[in-house]
Structure 1
Amino acid sequence: MTNAIVRPVREALLRAAGSRDLRRRTPAGVRYDATAPGTDTIYYLSPDESSPSGGIRVIYRHVDLLNAAGLKAAVLHEKPGFRVGWFANDTRVLAARDVTLGRSDLLVVPEFYGPGLAALPPAVRKVIFNQNAYQTFSRVPFGATGPGAPYAAVAGLQALLTVSEDNAALLRHAFPALPTHIARVVVDERVFHPGSAPAGRRIGYMPRRRAEEQEQLLHILRARGVLDGWELTPIDGLGEAQTAEALRGCAVFLSFSEREGFGLPPAEAMASGAYVVGFTGLAGRDFFDPAFCTPVAEADLLAFAVAVEQILGRDPATLAAAGQAASKEILSRYHEEGLRADLLAFYATLR
């Protein structure tokens, strides 16, 4: 009798949660006037999300770099007056309802809005900025859509833009008719860099990622005495500068990346001089070089535990040297000048 009552309630709650998620994935209302020439502006749609989000940070950075390079660009939020506040910025931000796009304008739409793309004006020129190809089909049911969903039926779609070689390969395979370009992620060396003093015997990790596997790994390490003399440092809910400071204090960082667009946490940890061990999240294969870190096969908990045990037993100077090498490599590849070049080359193809 209890199950007969509980099951319908649970199913109703799941349906309600799904409906809320779909509403969140419907983009803000965007107006388009086919008779207006436009202002040659690149508008980036963005969710009104106030908590730290690497994807929104990337959107703001794109707009800043485009404006600095002489192109016109702006972030479009749904709520008037909304601006992300967890990192310092003076990015050009507008409310979607205050803007009318014209023929020369371009609308850049995050992959998050995949299920709601039909709500956008058909005639407006569009780019999908897909920062996580593994989320492309989220809330896009196979049985209720046609071949090439969610992009095949999107009028005005010019190209796909993504953030890693890994994701570009997947998108090109799934949507061979759509041009796919890469705009690299930036790891800001002004924020993420090694400290002036040696890191302590601290192990950093992001507690919200693969939480169940984290618990299992930490149980194994503690049971074997591996954590003796080490301090666990969960890093969560911090601003950009605070996160960087925490990472600089960690000699080792555990990566629990999973099906990522790029995988900023381990890259930022490397840039900060930590020795990184763990899952690549697939996209992290772009930069997880065994010369200065230890990638672990996806979901291989035993291999993860063995690797951590071996690493924590190494000479601290050896770990620090590898962390310095990782920092040098990450900061030499993922920088603003490179992103600026990527963006200018990409948007030149759409003019």
Structure 2
Amino acid sequence: MIRVMAPDLPTPSGGIKVIYNYVEHLVALGHDARVWHGTPGFAYPGWGSTAPVDTGLALPFAAGDVLVMPETGGGRWAGLNPGVPTVMLCQGMDFVFADADFLRDVPGDYPGWPQATCALGVSDAIVTFLQHACPPGFPVHAVPVEIEQWFVPLEKERRLALMPRRRREDLIGAVQLLRRSGRLDGWEIVLVDGMTQAQVAEELGRAAIFLFGAEREGFGLPGAEAMAAGCYVVGFTGDGAKEYLTPDVASVVLDSDVVGMAEATLAAMDAFDHDRSSLQARVELGRSRVLERHSSAAVREALGRAFEVITAPGSPSLVDGPTTVAHYMSRGPRYGRAGAAYVGARRLAGAARRRLGRG
């Protein structure tokens, strides 16, 4: 059995969605795979995932089982199950050294996790980062994130879509510059927030342009989803999105360059109105790239390769005998300190980083 531990967040984040998607694919590949939440009976009501779910503060593992843990707070959770071999799922570089400081080394081939046997990286940027953070020979498996099939272009309208929670200050600055330009007549600004995945896909499908407030991204799924939905993307890479957000298919903005974002958006608006064919050619090229690399087939193939190694007889990732394994929730209230760390780490660090950069 393969169990993927997941923080008990009140609503499913992008990282949680990746976990569920991976488990669905592992089941399709013939593995007995489960998402593992800590709160007994935990579930996301109305969510359509078919991934099997186990719940409990601690669960029995048998010889040959595999534990996968997402990176949420550096090595602070390594003591939860110190004797259990662990496959690390890394969805963000900033999580890896989250509890480190400047004046001490971090132990373990995988930073902070002496029991880690290998890692799964969800983007080119993460795989490169882990190859530098871990010693030569430590297995790092590249497994892409899937872009769901409902992200498709609809009839495009003069709409600028954005997600207001990340890089809020920068996005507000850029939008206010657009408003002051006097060139927004007939264009609608759409805030994509508090929506179901189907509603998000519909809004992106209708929007001509997506303003991407990427920051400290492992991959930057919203930008890729916008490309799949046929948007022209203007925004930051947040590092993780640089594998698909490139100048030939999008307007890549320098970090916190609010003026650059506004100017690139105005240029894209003008192209949409007066040179649609040239803009559409770039949109189609970007869309074809993300769909090729992040299709269901690509994700399943990569997971199949990785877990063929991870579950092979004699693999160091296999639990070597019956044991009881604890969940994050056994150490924290509500949805756990791990959940709080998962949600809050980027937000707090990002705000501090912007304050320091602008001081």
Does the TM-score normalized on the shorter chain lie above 0.5?
Answer: yes
Distance 1:347 1:272, change over 3 A: same
Secondary structure at the counterpart of residue 228 of structure 1: coil
Change (3 A) 1:152 1:264: closer
**Residues 332-351 of structure 1 aligned to structure 2 (within 5 Å):** 332-350=292-310, 351=312
Partner SS, residue 91 of structure 1: coil
Whether the aligned pair in 2 keeps the contact of 1:50 and 1:86 (CA below 8 Å) is no
Contact 2:292–2:298, Cα closer than 8 Å, also in 1: no
Cα deviation 1:188-215 (Å, max 9, x = unaligned):
12x11112xx211100000011011111
Deviation string, structure 1 residues 217-239 (Cα, Å, up to 9, x no partner): 11211111232221000001211
Look up the SS of the partner of 1:202 in the other structure: strand
Alignment of 1:304-343 (within 5 A): 304-316=261-273, 317-318=276-277, 319-343=279-303
1:53 to 7, 10, 13: 13
Residue aligned with 1:48, SS: coil
Distance 1:119 1:173, change over 3 A: same
| 1:153 to partner: Cα distance | 4.8
Match in the other structure for 2:235: 278
Residue 259 of structure 1 is matched in structure 2 by 216
Q: Which has the higher contact order (CA 8 A, sep 6+)?
A: 2
| Counterpart Cα distance in 2 of 1:290 and 1:148 | 39
Which residue pairs with 1:158 in the alignment? 117
Give the partner amino acid of 1:214.
Answer: L
Q: Encode CA deviations 1:32-66: one digit per residue, 9 max, x unaligned.
A: xxxxxxxxx11100011132411100100111111
State the 1:113 CA deviation: 4.3
Deviation at 1:151, TM superposition (A): 4.0
Is 1:234 aligned to residue 188 of structure 2? no
CA distance in 1 between partners of 2:186 and 2:298 (Å): 41
2:144 to 184, 188, 194: 184
1:215 to 172, 191, 199: 172
Q: Which structure 2 segments of 5+ residues have no match?
A: 313-359
1:205 to 162, 169, 173: 162
Deviation, structure 1 residue 341: 1.0
2:99 is equivalent to residue 99 of structure 1 = no
Find the residue that maps to 1:181 and give its secondary structure.
strand
Structure 1 unmatched ranges of 5 or more: 1-40
CA distance in 2, matches of 1:235, 1:243: 6
- Distance, in Å, in 2 between the alignment partners of 1:86 and 1:46 is 18
Match of 1:243 among 191, 200, 205: 200
For residues 267 and 308 of structure 1, the distance between their equivalents in structure 2, rounded to whole angstroms, comes to 18
Equivalenced residue count is 307
Q: Distance in 2 between matches of 1:168 and 1:148?
A: 19
Deviation at 1:152, TM superposition (A): 4.2
- Counterpart pick for 1:303 among 247, 260, 273: 260
Structure 2: distance between partners of 1:43 and 1:124: 13
Q: TM-score, normalised by structure 2?
A: 0.80
277 and 152 in structure 1: CA distance in 2 versus 1, 3 angstrom threshold: closer
**Among the aligned pairs, what percent are the same residue?**
35
Confirm or deny: 8 A CA contact 1:44 1:107 kept in the other structure. yes
Aligned-CA RMSD value: 2.0
Give the structure 2 partner of residue 123 of structure 1. 83
TM-score by length of 1: 0.82
